[in-house]
């Protein structure tokens, strides 16, 4: 398959949900993407996108190093570049926190990590209207439906930059009931879960 910079494979709205889910899942499994691209199933479409720019990678690496130090050798670890699987949906967050065993126990033929083991998903927002909508809106709804307890957005494009902490997912409404937005320059402190007390501040978000 030849992937474009960002490709969405739409499906008909009137297809039965079960058949649609199966079609998307089987199509996703059969995809052979070029190096540097990833495919996700998000709200009824397969979305293909390239890996991020340098700034995107810098923020992820800064955050990962500090999270690893914070979590230490406990039961949970920070992971990246892995699929999250939930009821025929597939997401690839920039980072996520899950039990260390959730990844270590995967067999070589398994396609990803079960969402039930995930304590937090983290996305570093990329530029471009579709990228902004994916992370701020579509993935926000998907992660809430999957009841991921914490969704963190690191968003260079929210005013002068902001970290958004979303908690208390309501799967029936596909929303997070609690939202805490912290402008860059002020510490955004994770309120609960394995990374409780971890601060996302200027050391991570600085230009």
**Rounded Cα gap, residues 196 and 189, in angstroms:** 8
Best CA proximity match to 152, nearest among 175, 124, 177, 172: 124
Average pLDDT per consecutive 10 residues, the chain (207 residues; last block may be shorter): 43 50 86 78 83 87 97 93 90 94 72 92 92 95 98 97 98 98 97 97 96
Buried b (16+ CB within 10 A) or exposed e, 37-75: bbbbbbebebbbbeebeeebeebbebbbebbeebbeeee
As a whole number of Å, the CA-based R_g of the chain is 17
In Å, the largest CA–CA distance within the chain is 49
Amino acid 4: pLDDT = 42
Amino acid 105: pLDDT = 72
């Amino acid at each position: 398959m030849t992937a474009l910079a960002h490709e969405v494979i739409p499906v008909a709205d009137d297809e039965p949900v079960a058949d649609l889910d199966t079609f998307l899942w089987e199509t996703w499994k059969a995809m052979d993407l070029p190096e540097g691209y990833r495919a996700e199933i998000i709200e009824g479409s397969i979305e293909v996108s390239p890996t991020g720019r340098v700034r995107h990678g810098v923020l992820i690496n800064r955050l990962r190093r500090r999270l690893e130090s914070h979590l230490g050798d406990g039961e949970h670890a920070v992971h990246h570049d892995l699929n999250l699987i939930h009821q025929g949906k597939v997401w690839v967050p920039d980072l996520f926190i899950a039990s260390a065993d959730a990844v270590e126990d995967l067999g070589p033929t398994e396609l990803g990590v079960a969402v039930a083991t995930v304590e937090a998903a983290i996305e570093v927002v990329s530029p471009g209207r579709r990228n902004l909508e994916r992370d701020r809106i579509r993935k926000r709804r998907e992660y809430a439906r999957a009841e991921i307890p914490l969704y963190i957005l690191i968003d260079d494009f929210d005013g002068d930059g902001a970290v958004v902490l979303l908690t208390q997912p309501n799967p029936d409404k596909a929303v997070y009931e609690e939202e805490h937005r912290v402008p860059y320059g002020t510490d955004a402190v994770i309120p609960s879960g394995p990374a409780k007390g971890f601060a996302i501040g200027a050391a991570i978000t600085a230009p």
